[in-house]
Amino acid sequence: MQIRTLAYRALLAALGGALVTLSLAPIHFWPLIFISPALLYFTLKETTTKQAGILGWCYGAGLYGSGASWVFVSIHTFGDTPFLLSVLMTAAFAAALALIFSLQTWAYRRWFNQTRYTALAFIGLWVVFEWLRSWVFTGFPWLYLGYALTESPFRSWAPIGGVWLLSLGILTISIGMLEIVNARSKRTRFNWAIPITLFCLAPFLTTEWTTKGEKLKIDIVQANIPQHLKWDRSYLPEILGTYTRMTETQTDAPIIIWPETAISTYLSSAMPYLVTLFDQLENENRMLISGYPAIELDETHPEGFRVHNSLGIMTNGFGIYHKQRLVPFGEYVPFERQIRGLISFFDLPMSGFSLPEHPQSRLLAKDTRIAAAICYEIAYPELVRSLSADSDWILTLSNDTWFSHSLAPAQHLQIAQMRALENGRWVVRSTNNGLTALINPLGEITNQAPAYQKAVLKGEIEERSGVTPYQQTGVLPVLLISFVLMGIGFRRRAT
């Protein structure tokens, strides 16, 4: 292949990656998602394994360079890193993640080259790699194809097979339509038309998989605390005073929610500022749930204790949940001894959190069972599935201030909508400055607070019981289908 032709295909592949970002929140032009994988599939025709790896990397660079560009905000604005270095670090982050797609397309061309059923192998391999992205090296389960259909008529498939089934459907339509156009026989067109038609039946899947229960009134306090003040101890009285005043004057629901690390110090240090409010809420029989850093004594730890990113029931009940998926560099620093102190970004406040030794399954709050997910955890489909199967509703606390005025908050909210769909549960999303929202089991946002300002979001949710098909089986059926598709392509490889 000539260099000029390879460069043209590289640009086309990068465009395909960028189309994913345009199809997701906040742009929501979801029909573009059906074009994206087809562009990459088209560029891989008649390429060597090396060229396929390059084109896959270009696709990944287009995807992560646009869709994950929000890391620049945390590195530069809140990590106090010089502008040029922040740009280089963001580019390096996207380039590193793009290697996943490079490996994917290299493997596709290496083991499924010149097969009669190469399109099936392409689809199956893609879904398998999406699954791998959810756990390899702790995972980065972001920017999946299926999220684009969260508010589309195809969303009815989500409670059946999760976001991965939606990705499988997108790939089937995208690659299938391309194969139909290029097909030389009616049989080939017919064979592709069947699965495409089946996936398009989604609007007729109107089953409600879970059962309605008691209604709960909830108030969510969005205090809009500036990130550069949040961990400054001199501002602690003012920060806790803001939450206290808003709770006392603007809430009346039996359940009150504060966001991730709203209490930005250990409870022993915060109690002098909160004891009066806590006593008042106890007397009123009202429950307050808040995020905070929890300290736990541990003689086996080098420092003698562990610090967890946690949420807990502060009044009218008892329960605590420690975060099980930590954000690299934000909540812990890989290779800490080697890179601490090199630049300010590697010394962010509270970047020394620990994982819990004994993860909890859910919060038992009096008569309601809560599946908790802190910030980034809501992006892990299988984690939320396991936590929510025997819970009444899902609570996710976040502090998206790290990525203010970028694509991240809207993408994060869209991911929470998908978790509501998959698990047939209401999702209560509490954030420091947006996007705070209530999401029903259909993935619809029923109420949302204005972003980047102080607000109390008032609303009502329903407890839900029962399980969706996805909660019963998880990703396994979609994985099996994907491996079968890969097996068909591999076994019938031309010699």
Give the confidence band of 299 by pLDDT, cuts at 50, 70, 90. Answer: low
Instruction: State pLDDT tens for residues 354-413.
Output: 777 777 767 877 789 999 999 989 999 999 999 998 899 999 999 988 888 899 999 999
Catalytic residue among 230, 375, 377, 382: 375
C-alpha distances in Å from residue 406, one per residue of 24, 67, 70, 231, 361? 13, 10, 6, 22, 32
| C-alpha distance from residue 337 to each of 22, 103, 340, 341 (Å) | 39, 30, 6, 9
Is the distance from CB of 431 to CB of 290 less than 8 angstroms? no
Structure tokens at 384: 């939320």
Q: The tokens of 347 are what?
A: 């010394």
State the pLDDT at residue 362: 72
Tokens in use for 488? 């068909």
Write down all domains in the chain, each with its CATH number in brackets. 3-207+474-491 (no CATH), 212-467 (3.60.110.10)
Among candidate residues 323, 377, 382, 463, the one labeled active-site is 323
Residue in 103, 128, 127 with CA at minimum distance from that of residue 52: 103
What confidence tier does 254 reach under pLDDT thresholds 50, 70, 90?
very high
C-alpha span between 368 and 371 (Å, rounded): 10
Cα separation, 146 vs 36, whole angstroms: 12
Q: What are phi and psi of 427, to 5 degrees?
A: -115, 125
Whether residue 3 is predicted with pLDDT greater than 70 in this model: the reply is no
The structure tokens listed for 394 are: 């899902």
CA 442 to CA 155: how far, in whole Å? 8
**70 close to 22: Cβ distance less than 8 angstroms:** no
Find, among 209, 213, 220, the residue nearest to 247 by Cα. Answer: 220
Mean pLDDT of the chain: 90
How far from each other are the two terminal CA atoms of the chain, in whole angstroms?
22
Annotated active-site residue 215? The verdict is no
Whole-number pLDDT of residue 330:
59
- Predicted local distance difference test score (pLDDT) of residue 335: 44
H, E, C per residue of the chain: CCHHHHHHHHHHHHHHHHHHHHHCCCCCCHHHHHCHHHHHHHHCCCCCHHHHHHHHHHHHHHHHHHHCCCHHHHHHHHCCCCHHHHHHHHHHHHHHHHHHHHHHHHHHHHHCCCECCHHHHHHHHHHHHHHHCCCHHHCCCCCCHHHHHCCCHHHHHHHHHHHHHHHHHHHHHHHHHHHHHHCCCHHHHHHHHHHHHHHCCHHHCCCCCCEEEEEEEEEEEECCCCHHHHCCHHHHHHHHHHHHHHHHHHCCCCEEECCCCCCCCCHHHHHHHHHHHHHHHHHCCCEEEEEEEEEEECCCCCCCEEEEEEEEEEECCCCEEECCCCCECCCECCCHHHHCCCCHHHHCCCCCCCCCCCCCCCEEECCEEEEEEEHHHHHCHHHHHHHHCCCCEEEEEECHHHHCCCCHHHHHHHHHHHHHHHHCCCEEEEECCCCCEEECCCCCEEEECCCCCCEEEEEEEEEEECCCHHHHHCCHHHHHHHHHHHHHHHHCECC
Check whether 458 has a pLDDT greater than 60: yes
Which residues, 6 or more positions from 322, have their beta carbon under 8 angstroms from its beta carbon?
A: 294, 308, 309, 310, 355, 356, 359, 360
Q: List Cβ neighbours of 37 (8 Å cut-off, separation of 6 or more).
A: 16, 126, 145, 170, 171, 174, 175
C-alpha 452/C-alpha 454 separation (Å) is 7
Q: Residue 205: its pLDDT value, please?
A: 80
Joined tokens for residue 5: 């032709």
CA distance 98 to 87: 16
What are the structure tokens assigned to 333, written together? 């620093």
Catalytic residue among 130, 179, 260, 463: 260
Average pLDDT over residues 465-476: 96
375 is catalytic: yes
Residue 90: closest CA among 57, 58, 68, 117: 68
Residues 440 and 416: beta-carbon distance below 8 Å: no
Q: What is the pLDDT of residue 76?
A: 85
* pLDDT confidence band for 348 (50 / 70 / 90): low
Backbone φ and ψ of 172, nearest 5°: -65, -45
pLDDT at 27: 96
Q: How far is 341 from 338, CA to CA, in rounded Å? A: 9
Question: Does the structure show a pLDDT above 70 at 237?
Answer: yes
Please tell me the predicted confidence (pLDDT) of residue 351.
54
**Pairing of the two strands 393-398 and 427-431:** parallel
Least confident of 347-356, 401-410, 482-491: 347-356
Cross-strand bridge partners of residue 429: 396, 437
Residue 454 annotated to the active site: no
- 300-320 residue pLDDT tens: 666 667 889 999 999 998 889
